[in-house]
Amino acid sequence: MDIFSFVNFFLLPGVVQGSIYALGAIGITLIYAIMRYGHFAHGDLATFGAFTALFVAGLLGLSPYAALPVAVVVAALLAIAIDWLFYAHLRRMPKIITTIASFGVALMLRSVVQIIWGVDTTSYTRGISRPENWFGIRVKPHELVTLLVVIGLVIALHLFLTRNKWGKAMRAMSDNPDLALLSGIDNNKVIAMTWVIAGGLCAASGFFLGLNTELRSLMGWNILLPTFAAAILGGVGRIEGAIVGGLVVGVTEELSVLVIPSEYKMLSSFAILLVVLLLRPTGLFRGKIL
């Protein structure tokens, strides 16, 4: 195998898939950093965002890319509503209760998607997308857009968390919730902002997953394991860890098809998850221990 074949068939698809995992992992790590529980409805919220973009594009005759901002807003509002309806009254309960409740929310979201859009596979575009050849590296247009948008979203989130007052408040809540409350930070507003960001990133990850593969009602559930593996590998609560973890998981999945059938490549995510939890539960960037 020459270097160009390796890049075109394994490295590039792995980086694209890993960047999608990274978006979802950032949302998971933000929720855990602020609210201290694992959110298992994350994948199905991504599915809802992806199908919302499909609906808006079909209804208004827009490009799927133009429908993405609408899907992001809808998913962000839905995330706030879910927190208000199902999680808010559980905040003083043991966190495992909220984690279990998120499984129920996942089932509800999946059922809503299946009732509205059915269970058949669909896609944003028809036909075959021809890749562009850049010095032997073959990149499809939607792969390039995925990488550029993910990079833009990560930069925007970094600037928000480091320069905006609410971003700094979120970091303070993550580091020391009690001290943040004593300093006058509004806990409810920080939680709402966290859900806005996590919900928006969910919609983006679902959209780009559908753009690079296909739209299915179970697509979010299928990426939940690698997304959690990415968050845990990087270190739960660490944004930079979620990004690195997503890329590592994505590339590892693609490389695993060299030794195992492609339908079992998600086993590599499970293997990464087990190894990290056993050998380094704080992850690569020393995040919070689950």
- Average pLDDT for 150-176: 92
In the chain, the percentage of residues whose pLDDT exceeds 70 is 98
pLDDT single digits (tens) 214-246: 999 999 999 999 999 999 988 887 888 999 999
Query: Are the C-beta atoms of residues 107 and 41 closer than 8 Å to each other?
Result: no
* Residue written as token pair 């593969």: 213
Query: Are the C-beta atoms of residues 284 and 231 closer than 8 Å to each other?
Result: no
pLDDT single digits (tens) 167-178: 999 988 888 888
Q: For the chain, where are the E strands, in sequence order?
A: 132-134, 137-139
Which of 27-41, 71-85, 258-272 has the highest average model confidence (pLDDT)? 71-85
* Arithmetic mean of pLDDT over the chain: 91
- Average pLDDT for 10-17: 93
| pLDDT at residue 285, as a whole number | 79
- Average pLDDT for 106-129: 91
Q: From CA 98, how far away is CA 75, in angstroms rounded? A: 20
| pLDDT at residue 127, as a whole number | 67
What band does 289 get if pLDDT is binned at 50, 70 and 90?
very low
Angle at 197 between CA 78 and CA 207, to 5 degrees: 70
| pLDDT at residue 282, as a whole number | 81
- Average pLDDT for 245-251: 94
Query: Are the C-beta atoms of residues 14 and 257 closer than 8 Å to each other?
Result: no
Instruction: Specify the pTM.
Output: 0.93
Q: Report in angstroms the alpha-carbon separations of 87 from 24, 90, 112.
A: 20, 5, 19
* Encoded tokens for 52: 């919302």
Q: Is the pLDDT of residue 149 over 70?
A: yes
What band does 262 get if pLDDT is binned at 50, 70 and 90?
confident
Domains of the chain: 3-119+137-279 (1.10.3470)
Q: Is the pLDDT of residue 272 over 90?
A: no
